[in-house]
Amino acid sequence: MNGKEKWYRRFVNFIKNVRAELKKVTWPSRSEVYSTTIVVILATVFFGFYLFLVDALSSWALTKVRAFLG
């Protein structure tokens, strides 16, 4: 095979390397996951309302400008 490994040997080697790397990962605790999830949800809701307000005010202002100009 001229020094080339078969594809399944490369695949098995890849899976072994992936497993070795995943053992090095520091996984978050359940409480860390819970608290960061709450932060993401709250930030999403906050920015959703903020962008809705900016959009509504911009739309209102653009309507007033169009009425004034036209």
Q: Which pLDDT does position 65 carry in this prediction? A: 95
Q: pLDDT, tens digit, for every residue of 12-60?
A: 999 999 999 999 999 999 999 999 999 999 999 999 999 999 999 999 9
Q: CB-side exposure of 21: number of CA atoms within 13 Å?
A: 6
Domain around 28: 7-69
* Per-residue pLDDT at 5: 72
Structural domains counted in the chain? 1
- 60 lies in a domain? yes
Torsion of CA 33, 36, 40, 42, to 10 degrees: 120
Looking at the predicted structure, is the pLDDT value of residue 2 above 60?
no
- Which tens digit of pLDDT belongs to each residue from 38-50? 999 999 999 999 9
Is residue 45 domain-resident? Answer: yes
User: In angstroms, how far is CA 47 from the centroid of its own chain?
Assistant: 15
Q: Within a domain: residue 2?
A: no
